[in-house]
Amino acid sequence: MDPLTYKQSGVDIEAAESAVRRIAPLAKSTFRPEVLGEIGAFAGFVTLPAGYREPVLVSSTDGVGSKLKIAFLADRHDTVGIDLVAMGVNDVLVHGAEPLFFLDYLAVGKVVPEKIEAIVKGVAEGCRRAGCALVGGETAELPDFYAPGEYDLAGFCVGVAEKSRIIDGSAVKPGDRLLGLASSGLHSNGYSLARKVVFERMGLKVGDPLPGLGKSVADELLTPARIYVKPVLDLLKAVPVRAMAHITGGGLTGNLPRVLPAGCKAVIESGSWTVPPIFALLQERGEIVDDEMFRTFNMGIGLVLVVAREQCDHVRSLLASFGETVWIIGEVQAGSRGVEYAGAR
**DSSP string for 205-245:** -TTSBPTTTSSBHHHHHTPPPP--HHHHHHHHHHS--SEEE
Angle between the 229-238 and 80-93 helix axes, to the nearest 10 degrees? 20
List of residues 6+ apart from 187 with CB closer than 8 A: 83, 86, 225, 226, 247, 248, 298, 302
- Provide the pLDDT for residue 310: 96
- 7-165 topology per CATH: 60s Ribosomal Protein L30; Chain: A; (3.30.1330)
**Dihedral class, residue 307 (left if φ above 0, else alpha if ψ from -120 to 50, else beta):** beta
- Provide the pLDDT for residue 216: 98
- Find, among 170, 299, 321, the residue nearest to 241 by Cα: 170
- Provide the pLDDT for residue 344: 56
What is the reported pTM? 0.95
The domain ranges of the chain are 7-165, 177-342
Q: Mean pLDDT for each consecutive 10-residue tract of the chain (345 residues)?
A: 71 78 87 87 90 96 97 97 98 98 96 94 98 94 92 97 96 98 97 98 97 96 98 96 97 96 96 96 97 97 98 96 97 97 75
- Provide the pLDDT for residue 109: 93
Q: Give the end-to-end CA distance of the chain in Å, rounded to a whole number.
A: 70
- Provide the pLDDT for residue 1: 65
**3-class DSSP state of 184:** coil
Asked if 169 and 246 touch (Cβ cutoff 8 Å), the reply is: no
CA gap 156, 101 in Å, rounded: 8
CA gap 195, 191 in Å, rounded: 6
Would 7-165 and 177-342 be classified into the same CATH topology? no
The top-level CATH class assigned to 177-342 is alpha beta
